[in-house]
Structure 1
């Protein structure tokens, strides 16, 4: 399901200090506690989510009507494609407000019971580069039981990811949540294992246009301040590798159909159909997300890189904890995801050729290379990445050239 967004323009960000696992864990725990305290029953959040759901269902309904679907069946199909994919069971609710209540209940469940995870900046950069290589059809290779080691989780990023959606609006995502679901598609008997993904905007993040500041102030004035993590988009991913079933469409066809649907949703007259490159790069900045699938691509890459062993998962050193307030979750074990290793970027030998040898004082994530690896024992191809190929010495500080985006107040 699509997301609500807030507009802004770019400016450079000042360096905010070195990332540490302990500091990241303390920050993530505090953010989750604040969100659990302020999210349940918040009427402002529910109104925003309800409006977003209404827009998504209405857009899908119009597309299906224009595709020739019968009037009576178009709404059922729209609900199945949007709500059933998220794990909601038919019969469908009478309106968007009931759907919003259900969605927020799921988000609260993720915040309360999901395994809290933080990711280092370098591992995050590797995931971003890997996500850039993914086609929509690649996402159909997800094996939930093999790839997703945590059934319910909350991943807090080192800094917000700013995405530009199909309308040009921008939003900042600070955390992703996920939980296992059963998808209900079109017919009551069409049920598939799936994963529901929730994206959470940063209330205090870089996206701060005037109307957002006004909404935050009004919510606070009425006694219902917005939580630090504001529920945004929700997405459903099928988790039984449908792209590999003989009776299912191929990954290439799934990619084509996905692009056709997104083109219809954006009412674009011309659609860019060039294939996505197998080599992805990330050096900071905004993410263009015209297909509204970046959240799924990021989480697919995250899960697969963890399963592949490109990243390693540990617990942070114990940090002093203050007294626990009522309702505050206890986080004895917070997962920390880091790069397991880095591979120096390949470049022509310069020594002995009359050229000055470069001496790097920083390192940059350069690229991830996507391949389909054949596993004879399983008789199947699996999508893996080679890399990350990182330029610069391993002991040098990470330099991403990051930017943040703030609203134009003029």
Structure 2
């Protein structure tokens, strides 16, 4: 599965470069550099997708073995989803991994799968994001950048269960090698060297425009394997249309920045009692729980004589936020922050990630 995904991604980029002004004969090297080099693989490039898949799986295993483990609460997850929706591709170039990213290696487990639909109509249900610091090798042999590699992990038992997936899970279980709950899926590379220091609107808009042009070309190159979007995924917040193939990066950017901004708070608790270490197996790390630092309930007691009716909210929901380019005089730079977010509604009520909020009026 991983090998097929990598082959499709590199082949799409190769077809786009064949129709570009790239130097003739260099298209395959450039495609590998733009895909594999961005992930942190060093040239020379592998001879085929199987070798690249083996490399990717080795990186995923490295994350699962050594990452700092975090789980995000439903409220904080809703805030990150809302923040990610405000981002454009150009905003991601303002990431500074040394300033923004909470740890060099991490695994963030979500409270529920997020269903994403890619440019060809395929769906996946992401349950966790892993990341590692890496060095990107892009375009030219000397073009090296500090980067962050993001791994996505599907939910084996999640809402997206097509027939071929159920058959694969059953076959693996019958063979005595059942699939793990977190199944490696995609991999993405982000520059983390604060490539845009001023974060001006003009610069980020230009990068966003170029990104969308490339994604439109890639969508056209992959049209031959497009399929109708089947209604096989359910999620309280709806499906994420990821035609730009950047939702994982937007989600993680929003998560890191909100943590750095102080919107969230983190508590640490031991996942298992301390005990003797087994050779070849890492000790279970502490599990960090990421929650919103502040929640503002919408249901408040009315002062006598001021209101005739009290609204009883039966759900919680994230208040929409907006991004701001805040000037930091000490660093002489703009940084992207958000105004908000917070969760409205009674603490014991279920969380709604969609647009509807149910209200009951009572006298």
Partner of 2:43: 90
Q: Which of 232, 238, 257 in structure 2 is aligned with 1:304?
A: 257
Cα distance in 1, alignment partners of residues 72 and 249 from structure 2? 17
Q: Which of 75, 85, 89 in structure 2 is aligned with 1:132?
A: 85
Partner of 1:201: 154
Change (3 A) 1:351 1:388: farther
Q: What is the total number of aligned residue pairs between the two structures?
A: 338
Cα distance in 2, alignment partners of residues 128 and 206 from structure 1? 19
Cα pair 2:315 2:352 within 8 Å, conserved: no
Cα distance in 1, alignment partners of residues 12 and 303 from structure 2? 56
1:316 and 2:299 matched? no
Unaligned segments of structure 2, at least 5 residues = 222-234, 355-363
Cα pair 1:342 1:387 within 8 Å, conserved: no
1:295 and 2:248 matched? yes
Cα distance in 1, alignment partners of residues 3 and 331 from structure 2? 44
Partner of 1:15: none
Unaligned segments of structure 1, at least 5 residues = 1-47, 269-281, 403-410
Q: Which of 212, 217, 226 in structure 1 is aligned with 2:170?
A: 217
Q: Which moved more, 1:211-220 or 1:228-237?
A: 211-220
1:98-117 map, 5 Å = 98-117=51-70
1:183 and 2:136 matched? yes
Cα pair 2:71 2:110 within 8 Å, conserved: yes
Cα distance in 1, alignment partners of residues 171 and 126 from structure 2? 22
Partner of 1:267: 220
Cα distance in 1, alignment partners of residues 4 and 80 from structure 2? 31
Q: CA RMSD in A?
A: 2.8
Partner of 2:283: 330
Cα distance in 1, alignment partners of residues 254 and 171 from structure 2? 38
Partner of 1:366: 319
1:232 and 2:173 matched? no
Cα distance in 1, alignment partners of residues 258 and 239 from structure 2? 22
Partner of 1:399: 351
Q: Which moved more, 1:67-76 or 1:161-170?
A: 67-76
Change (3 A) 1:115 1:319: closer
3-state SS, counterpart of residue 72 of structure 1: coil
Cα pair 2:68 2:285 within 8 Å, conserved: no
Following superposition, the deviation at residue 202 of structure 1 comes to 0.8
TM-score (norm 1): 0.76
Cα distance in 1, alignment partners of residues 114 and 279 from structure 2? 31
Change (3 A) 1:241 1:350: farther
Cα distance in 1, alignment partners of residues 205 and 303 from structure 2? 42
Cα distance in 2, alignment partners of residues 373 and 121 from structure 1? 27
Partner of 1:39: none
Deviations 1:315-340 (A, max 9, x none): 13777799999866432411110000
3-state SS, counterpart of residue 362 of structure 1: coil
Partner of 1:380: 333
TM-score (norm 2): 0.86
3-state SS, counterpart of residue 359 of structure 1: strand
Ranked by relative contact order (alpha carbons within 8 Å, sequence separation 6 or more), the top structure is 1
Cα pair 2:75 2:351 within 8 Å, conserved: no
Cα pair 2:137 2:143 within 8 Å, conserved: yes
Moved beyond 6 Å, runs of 4+: 317-327, 349-355
3-state SS, counterpart of residue 265 of structure 1: helix
Deviations 1:103-132 (A, max 9, x none): 111100000001111010000000000000
Cα pair 1:130 1:385 within 8 Å, conserved: yes
Change (3 A) 1:345 1:378: farther
Cα pair 1:345 1:389 within 8 Å, conserved: no
Q: Which of 244, 268, 289 in structure 1 is aligned with 2:197?
A: 244
Cα pair 1:244 1:250 within 8 Å, conserved: no
